[in-house]
A and B are shown apart, each in its own frame.
Chain A
Amino acid sequence: MRNSMKFILILLFVSLMLAGCKGKSELNEILIVSSIGIDQEEDETVIHLQVVNPSGQSTMQGGGSGGTVYTYTERGRTIYEAVKKVNNILPRKAMFSHMTCMVVGEEYARESGIAMIFDFVERNNQIRDNVLMLVAKNSSAKEILSLYTPIFKNPAESLNNRVEIASATTGISEGMTEREIINWMYGDFRDPVILGVELLDLAETGNEMSSLENINANNKTYKITGLALFNKDLLTGWYDENQTIGWAMVNDRVKDPFIITEECENEDGFIGFSVKHIKSNVEPIIKDSEITFQVNISGTAVLQELTCKMDVSNPKKLIDMEEQIEASIKEDIERAVEQAKKQKVDVFGFGKMVYEKEPKKWKETYEKEWGREFANIKVDPVIFIRMESVGTRVNSIHEKD
């Protein structure tokens, strides 16, 4: 027994050696897909695979050759068909596990709807669930993916980083991931929002390596803009940046400080604040047929800039400022809600909140009628901002004017 056992073990080991090795791919047999763009062209779906050129990105001595990234484009009836076809032009096997970014063209989002994207993305075992989704505002995904970006050699990395940096104006430091959107759309019966990315007014195109030599960095770049609003899976409108902050406040997604600039009261000039430590929660209050959402927000603000005469050493002035900020935030929220109501999209997840609070009532009355009911809801922001400090200087130089 002992001998035959060893013999069989060795045989099986050898057979494993032969049977294994499937599914392996050496590093120089794969093409790292860093981002994917999806566009609509007539009736067909167009995909753009942006792939990394390792030797172009190499930091080793001697440098590399060619551009840092390349974008391949192919069309098909569905995304997967396009992926199948794109294999005809790819030099190596595409590998999706390092894909961090998905850009959807505005036309596609308005006409086909983003729902068509998700099944392929979810079912693929390589693509991560937390791929960042972006909508190309006023442009196609192709244009976004056709730019070389300065500083970052990998545009996808650049995009990811931009979302966080842009939180100073949008308030959202973590972009919407694919899984989150699916959860919203199908798990929480709420309408999704996706951050937008917009091309800057271009004097010349940035789709050549030589454009990186130009010192004027604005020429070849894009910016993160406000949220795209979706009705189910169709794009219906855009938030501006202030509305986006309002949305982020209600959903408690403000993690990093953001900036508010306000006009001075009674005087010419402006005051700038950075607002941080924002915490918010929403309390639905259901009375009879009227639903009010009380949004409780607290946070602190730091004075950053002052261009009018104002004596900030006076504590009372600080309280005035606090009120000013509160009013500004309140306005942001109200405007955001107003537009959502106008577009009839529940992007705040108010429906889910009602369901959490009164599951039975929701099922009986609201669920079917929510589209109509949503137009009648009231939002009551209760904001408490504390001026923490006035920065590293007390008195402003403008006081001497």
Chain B
Amino acid sequence: MSNLFSLFKRKRHIPEKEAQPSYVDSKISINLKDNILQMKDVFGDSIDVKTIHFLEAPIPFVICYIEGLVNKQQLDLSMIEPIKRWQIENKKNGKPVELIHQIEVSAQIKSSQQMDDIITAILRGKVGIFVDGLDEAYTVPLETWPSRSVEEPVAQTIVRGSREGFIETLQVNTSLIRRRLLDPSLRFKSFQVGTITKTPIMVAYLESQVDQKVLQEVISRVSNINTNKIFETGMLEELIREKGYTPFPTFQATERPDTAAAALAEGKVMIMMEGSPFALITPTTFISFFQAAEDYYHHFDVSSFTRIIRLISFFLSISLSAIFIAVTTYHHELIPTSLLVSLAAQREGVPFPVFVEALLMETMFEILREAGIRMPRPIGSAVSIVGAIVIGESAVAAGLVSPAIVIVVSLSAISNFVSPYYELSGASRLLRFVNMMMAASAGMFGIIFFFLGLVIHLCSRTSMGRPFLTPIISIHPDKLKDGIFRLPLWWTQTKFHKKWVQKS
């Protein structure tokens, strides 16, 4: 029995303590040779770590960097050449510290006595320089690495609006945000996560707008992450979300700088990560998954309309097949007579119960969808042909399913993808199957119970201490203006406007 219970225990992922590397506490030695040995010890003979020895120079020094992360041209022009020139001019008169002053770079050169710091900096693409006779080493920021150029976001495409999307490089992303928010109170705070990956993470917020409580919560959660590797904001999301299970996404992940900037201006907090083009926005509300950036670029009436369409299609994707099952197996009286007769005619000769039929079609669709995403693009068309044949005519012709269920499943499948945030469609897919089971076991009232349970669940969720259903429960008339409907901007922005006027 206790074994059974342990199935439901929340397993905290605690990374094993790793053996501390030898260099952690070691200091930079005055003797250059010692440092060289130490470096060799740390990096081994990995070929991408370049150590350039200038041991014959009047003041011997060593440059260390990782190939591919450093701009070599600049390294030659602004570091090695000035130092060489200076060495030649001053022969043996110069002091070792002055050597560092010859480096001509715009960013700040940092120094440290800890070997640990220097190695981390080198790993991040800085150039380390050890000078004989100094008990500290220097790192010069000359990093550059191959990165994608700013392109149109793939996951969140729009018709009207900015075509820029975040990329995997943090600096580019911060610049994209900064260019949209010229407010001086925009802050970026840096954190590092992962004992192995040492991934840089950035928390962004607008000091003048942000809710300090939320900010503190985010910072404390981010700095308490305990993991050894992290590669995407999706992993980050799972590590810092609230306790308790929920199928719903807990953060708004966006690829779009304009959405992110708008969220920051509303006082939300954004978390970005090196290596991921998705930024997380928090605190999140349920309704924000139905609000696209584009809503604000179109007419307010059109946008309100599309928002309602999104809500309806979310509802449909969860419940359409369930309602069909309930109505055709329990509540025949709800169907108009003539429709009932033609549905019954379609079902003649179909061997399965409606529930199995629907399950079959839904599963088939899920398989095709997954295959369509994973398949190499040239084979993609094959999937769609097979899909059309399997899901469409032939399943009906073979007498496996009735034509009506094909329509129902395809509609619920399509409405699944209407939300501007892809994460939500995962939740609605899972919930759809639960709902179908409820409908098959208790009819319409199973569906009602399912939705009541869902509402109870949603009401219990919080995001960074704020209720997940914020504008709908604990009503603030001001926030309702931009919820299910999008009222014109000159209405919704009054509060912001007042604040802004007061400040200036």
Contacts and interface: CB of A to CB of B under 8 A. Distances in A.
Interface of A: 3-4, 6-7, 16-17, 19-21, 23-28, 30, 32, 34, 52, 54-55, 57-60, 64, 95, 97-98, 100, 126, 128, 154, 157
Contacts of B332: 25, 27, 30, 32, 95, 97-98
Given A16-B442, A25-B332, A98-B340, 10 more contacts: A21-B441, A26-B354, A32-B344, A54-B348, A57-B342, A58-B342, A58-B345, A97-B333, A100-B337, A154-B341
B330 A27 contact: no
Contacts of A64: 345
A93 B2 CA distance: 48
A54 B342 contact: yes
Contacts of B5: 3-4, 7
Contacts of B437: 17
Instruction: Report the 9 A-B pairs with minimum CB-CB distance, sorted nearest first.
Output: A20-B441, A97-B333, A54-B344, A58-B345, A54-B345, A24-B329, A27-B344, A27-B347, A28-B347
A16 B439 CA distance: 12
A9 to B, nearest CB: 10
A347 to B, nearest CB: 31
Given A7-B4, A34-B337, A154-B337, A23 B330 contact: yes
B471 interface: no
The dominant DSSP class at the B interface is helix
B450 to A, nearest CB: 11
Contacts of B350: 28
Given A57-B345, A60-B346, A3 B8 contact: yes
A25 B329 contact: yes
19 contacts: A4-B5, A17-B441, A20-B440, A21-B440, A23-B443, A24-B330, A25-B329, A26-B353, A27-B329, A27-B344, A27-B354, A28-B347, A28-B348, A52-B344, A55-B345, A58-B342, A58-B345, A154-B337, A157-B338
B420 interface: no
A26 B347 contact: yes
B344 A28 contact: yes
B148 interface: no
Given A64-B345, A97-B333, A157-B337, A20 B354 contact: no
Interface string B1-38: 00011001100000000000000000000000000000
A6 B4 CA distance: 11
A98 B338 CA distance: 10
Contacts of A21: 440-441
Contacts of B353: 26
Nearest to A25: B329
B341 A52 contact: yes
Nearest to A6: B8
A60 B337 contact: no
A28 B329 CA distance: 10
Contacts of A57: 341-342, 345
User: By CB atoms of chain B within 10 A, which of A6, A28, A128 has the most?
Assistant: A28
Contacts of A98: 332-333, 337, 340
A27 B350 CA distance: 10
A97 B349 CA distance: 23
Nearest to A98: B337
User: By CB atoms of chain A within 10 A, which of B350, B437, B441 has the most?
Assistant: B441
Interface in B424-465: 437, 440-443, 446
Interface string B323-336: 00000111011000
B340 to A, nearest CB: 6
A26 B328 contact: yes
A155 B282 CA distance: 62
A100 B330 CA distance: 19
B443 A24 contact: yes
A292 to B, nearest CB: 46
A177 B350 CA distance: 37
Contacts of B347: 26-28, 54
A17 B446 CA distance: 10
Contact of B333 (A20, A24, A52, A126): A126
B80 to A, nearest CB: 63
Nearest to B329: A24
B383 to A, nearest CB: 29
Nearest to B354: A26
A37 B35 CA distance: 106
A27 B442 contact: no
A180 B413 CA distance: 46
A32 B346 CA distance: 14
B343 interface: yes
Contacts of B354: 26-27
Contacts of B442: 16, 20
A106 to B, nearest CB: 27
B337 A32 contact: yes
Contact of B340 (A6, A24, A32): A32
Contact of A32 (B341, B349, B440, B443): B341
A26 B329 contact: yes
Interface in B333-375: 333, 337-338, 340-350, 353-354
